[in-house]
Amino acid sequence: MRERDVIDLISSIVGISQHDDCVLFDNGEEYITVCCDMLTERTDFPRGMTPYQIGWMSIAVGLSDIAAMGAKPMGVLWALHLPKGTSQSFISELARGAGECASYAGTRVLGGDVGVQDELTVCTVSIGMVKKEYCAKRGGAKVGDLVGITGELGVAPCGLRIFLTGASEMCERYANEMVSKALMPIPRVFEGMEIAKHCSSMMDISDGLAVSLYEIGRRSGVGFEIDRDKLPVPEGVWVCMGEDTLDTVLYGAGDFELLFTASEDEMSEISSLLDITVIGRTIEGEGVVFDTGEKIEDKGWEAVI
């Protein structure tokens, strides 16, 4: 079964109706946002990652979901299952990476759970708070909105490929930076809080850009037209990925950037405050196409169970 089908099945049985990056709890004028992300060695931490990077990554993934709602992080819980015999120095480095990522985003690891398991497994619980009027959801995009993205695209999937298979000679000089960005993603917490005041919808693109556009489109009842030449793809990705560049940018996973929609006026406001790129607009109907007319497919990272 595909991950999405499993989620639909469970949702229908236990009665889950909300599908955003976090679960929302009503708290007067605010929402408390809670999300959990479970990562495992074989799927999420490629061999060769340092324990510091694993710790950092495990927290970044959770805080990115908080960022996608526009919430201010209040703290993180960190459940950790370690293989028997894990060394003290490995655990220390894991904790140092986790603590420093939380600290980078202005928050802290406050508690968690510890156990033993053959495969290193980490579950991060992120708790945030956001004013109801600013809370960003996936289902709010309107026809005529512009589409924005933070940061650059394709960097993490490109960095991960270099990490796993090595860099070509031409790519060599970009390799270190790409790999580092792939293994230690920056959760866009501060950007998220600012964008949420202006946007009509938002989510992170950790599963890929295309699949995230389709998700916002489905939840909002709109389609997207993306300007092919506006995608903020850095030189390093072009050089290292060559003819695979566009596929990497659209369908590769691991970029923890924020994808959002906003009216023209609100988008100008966001542009004046943050370094973002407008990459297209919402359109009537459904589906995602380039301005050149080519169809973008509804695919990205998805677990298959």
Minimum distance, C-beta of residue 94 to a copy of itself, in the bound complex (Å): 8
Give the number of other Cβ atoms within 10 Å of residue 296's Cβ: 21
3 binding a copy of itself? (CB under 8 A) = yes
Q: Report the SS3 class of residue 296.
A: strand
Report 46-85 residues binding a copy of itself (CB under 8 A).
74-75, 77-85
88 binding a copy of itself? (CB under 8 A) = yes
Beta-strand pair 30-40/121-131: antiparallel
- Using the minimum distance from each CB to a copy of itself, give the nearer residue, 106 or 111: 111
Environment class of residue 275 by beta-carbon count within 10 Å: exposed (0-12), middle (13-18) or buried (19+)? Answer: exposed
* DSSP code per residue over 2-23: BHHHHHHHHHHHHT----SSSE
Return d(Cα 94, Cα 88) in angstroms, integer.
10
Report 122-181 residues binding a copy of itself (CB under 8 A).
123, 125, 127
- Using the minimum distance from each CB to a copy of itself, give the nearer residue, 54 or 158: 54
* DSSP code per residue over 205-236: -TT-HHHHHHHHHHHHT-EEEE-GGGS---HH
**Residues 9, 164, 170, 273: which binds a copy of itself (CB under 8 A)?**
9
Minimum distance, C-beta of residue 25 to a copy of itself, in the bound complex (Å): 6
Cα distances from 274 to residues 149, 161, 194, in angstroms, run: 10, 29, 8
38 binding a copy of itself? (CB under 8 A) = yes
> For the chain, percent helix, then strand, then coil, each to nearest 5?
45, 25, 30
37 binding a copy of itself? (CB under 8 A) = yes
Q: How many residues bind a copy of itself (CB under 8 A)?
A: 64
x/- letters, 179..198, toward a copy of itself (CB under 8 A): --------------------
**Residues 48, 106, 114, 294: which binds a copy of itself (CB under 8 A)?**
114
Q: Report phi then psi at 118, rounded to 5.
A: -55, -45
Q: Which spans of this chain sit near a copy of itself (rule: CB under 8 A)?
A: 1, 3, 6-7, 9-10, 13-16, 18-19, 22-23, 25, 27, 32, 34-38, 40, 42-43, 74-75, 77-86, 88, 91-92, 95-96, 98-99, 102, 108-119, 121, 123, 125, 127, 303-305
